[in-house]
Amino acid sequence: MNITFIGAGNVASHLSKALHDTGHNIRQIYSRNPDRIKHIAPELQAQFTTSFAAILPDSDIYIIAVSDDAIGSIAAQLSVKDTAIVAHTAGTVSIKTLHKFVRHGIFYPLQTFSIDNPIHWATLPFIVQGNDNATEQILYQIADNLSDHIYCLDDEQRKIIHIGAVFVNNFTNYLMTIASDILAQHQLPFDILKPLIQQTAQKVQTQTPQSAQTGPAKRKDLKTIEKQIELLKNMPIEVQNLYKEITQLIMDRHKIQS
Amino acid sequence: MNITFIGAGNVASHLSKALHDTGHNIRQIYSRNPDRIKHIAPELQAQFTTSFAAILPDSDIYIIAVSDDAIGSIAAQLSVKDTAIVAHTAGTVSIKTLHKFVRHGIFYPLQTFSIDNPIHWATLPFIVQGNDNATEQILYQIADNLSDHIYCLDDEQRKIIHIGAVFVNNFTNYLMTIASDILAQHQLPFDILKPLIQQTAQKVQTQTPQSAQTGPAKRKDLKTIEKQIELLKNMPIEVQNLYKEITQLIMDRHKIQS
């Protein structure tokens, strides 16, 4: 397959490299930002362009890997041959955004990408969707070259998964930021929490998060909770409130279920 | 060293095995619950007892690894020789709880233990404290047999670390439970989020959580946030509120800092 990438950020960078490594031809990579293109592995032997008008119309697949907001305007400007498939990589953008293309779909790798972290493709979940069966089948096969975990989901299902991702990635990352603040206020290194963070993620690989729950709130240890609220009194009020709210939610949940 | 364990839960189980493996003699293990004792590795060649009165008074170290609430009453009942060290393994319980013993301290492994998950001792942070330098030195050396990351901290510092642990373990685990609920409501498998959970933990091993932050709230993508709030409308009100609150906190933080 000849594949063109629109976008050269973290997703495009990792994905183009991985597709190249599984035998696809990366035909061209477009980014309006020339600095971004340097992130893309040079061994791809792809053409690079910063001119939208220079995007070649004869690729088999166009993967739009840009910010959610930009997908609509990219789609409006892009012209491809009728047999080509245009897919985007976003969790929350409707497949309808690409409806002007005869063949279109979703090619969404559910992961948080950063330039320096290696990606474990075999276990990475891909969510694919096509506007018809043949299109979906092709996107499935491309994902199948990379991963053992491919899900064919519709727009709403994918958006629900993305909300789940917001909770387990964006929100947990925010709680880690708060923890880092609390330790920093007492000149304690965040490093001390890192193994615990890894084990927390590890535990829910083999048991449900409900059953993995521990801590003062789970065991309704009001004495410890009161001491912790007292120790947090010099933190911003929103941190104190967040502590109280999540503690209460955990207590409520484990009261109901026990 | 001859070491006696008071308690036979997850911490006692893993820790007694690890100390045995590094050449210490596990003299005796006490638990009032005979079922618990079966979790303790049989190859320890330790004595087991369910009778508090049968705890032998001639060990070098007594490690109290019981629930936080029980440490005080265990300490009140326990008699040891004056040269013995009595230490507990709790994050939030003051060292003063053990003041009746001539030599006492803290031996706190900062990790979430469960029976089935292996412990990576070398990277596991230990927090140790002694009521005098010689006592602290001995507890340090025992931890040093297991781990490369030992911290000598006082009561307040340890309690602050424990609050950090509540945020990065208990609270993040609760957010994963919510994500699991959201997916279950739409018949979607929690499995799909597991690689993302692992990568979320992995990222903050090498970068700060502040810099690892991504997502709709970080980039102030109000369109996506509104769609997500709409999609959550059938979830319990507390889940909707939690989504809105953490989203707002992330937006506020990245407004101030950018």
Asked if A196 lies within 8 A of B168 by C-beta distance, the reply is yes
Measured in angstroms, the CA of A82 and the nearest CA of chain B are apart by 30
> Tens of pLDDT along B140-186?
999 999 999 999 999 999 999 999 999 999 999 999 999 999 999 99
Calpha distance A228→A232 (Å, rounded): 6
Nearest to B160 among A177, A186, A195 (CB): A186
Instruction: Name the minimum distance, in Å, from the CA of B202 to any CA of chain A.
Output: 7
Q: Which residues of B touch A214 (CB under 8 A)?
A: 112, 169-170, 173
A208·B218 Cβ contact <8 A? no
At what angle are helices B155-165 and A172-185 packed, to 10 degrees?
170
Q: Residue-wise pLDDT tens for chain B (258 aa)?
A: 899 999 999 899 999 999 999 999 999 999 998 888 877 877 788 999 999 999 999 999 999 999 888 999 999 999 999 999 999 999 999 999 999 999 999 999 999 887 777 899 999 999 999 999 999 999 999 999 999 999 999 999 999 999 999 999 999 999 999 999 999 999 999 999 999 999 999 999 999 999 999 999 999 999 999 999 999 999 999 999 999 999 999 999 998 554
Q: Which helix (H) or strand (E) holds A198?
A: helix A194-206
Q: E strand or H helix at A242, and its extent?
A: helix A237-257
Identify the CA nearest to B75 among candidates B101, B93, B55, B50. B101
**What is the C-alpha separation between A240 and A230, in angstroms, rounded?**
9
Please judge whether A203 and B178 are an interchain contact, meaning their C-beta atoms are less than 8 angstroms apart. no
Three-class DSSP category at A12: helix
Of A163, A168, A175, the CB nearest to B171: A175
- Written as six digits, the tokens of A45 are 């032997």
- Chains A, B: CB pairs < 8 Å: 317
> Rounded to a whole number, what is the distance in Å from the CA of A156 to chain B's nearest CA?
9
Report the gap between the CA of A133 and the closest CA in chain B (Å): 21
Contact residues, chain A, for B203 at CB < 8 Å? 112, 114, 117, 173
Q: Which residue shows structure tokens 């602290």?
A: B136
The number of angstroms, rounded, from the C-alpha of B147 to the middle of its chain's C-alpha atoms is 15
Strand A61-64 relative to strand B25-30, pairing: unpaired
How does DSSP classify residue A123?
G
Residues of B in contact with A223 (CB under 8 A): 68-69
Residues 6+ apart with CB under 8 A from A17: A40, A41, A44
Which two three-digit tokens encode residue A233? 């009194």
Taking residue A69's Cβ as centre, other Cβ atoms within 10 Å add up to 13
Q: Give the model confidence (pLDDT) of A151-210 as tens digits.
A: 999 999 999 999 999 999 999 999 999 999 999 999 999 999 999 999 999 999 999 999
Amino acid at B62: Y
The whole-angstrom distance between residue A197's C-alpha and the CA centroid of its chain comes to: 19
A164/A157 Cα distance (integer angstroms): 11
B250–A170 C-beta distance less than 8 A: yes
A163 → chain B, closest CA residue: B228
A72-90 as b/e, with b when 16 or more CB fall inside 10 Å? eebbeebebeeebbbbbbb
The reply to whether residue B206 touches residue A117, judged by beta carbons under 8 angstroms, is yes
Q: Do B183 and A160 touch (CB under 8 A)?
A: yes
Long-range CB pairs of B93-100, under 8 A, 24+ apart, other chains included: B93/B68, B94/B155, B95/B129, B95/B131, B95/B155, B96/B155, B97/B71, B97/B72, B98/B64, B98/B71, B98/B131, B99/B131, B100/B75, B100/B76
Residue in the structure block whose two tokens are 């998060």: A209
Neighbours of B181 (CB within 10 A): 18
Taking CB atoms and an 8 Å limit, are A124 and B195 in contact across chains? yes
Q: Do B246 and A195 touch (CB under 8 A)?
A: no
Kindly determine whether residue A165 and residue B193, on different chains, have CB atoms separated by under 8 Å.
yes
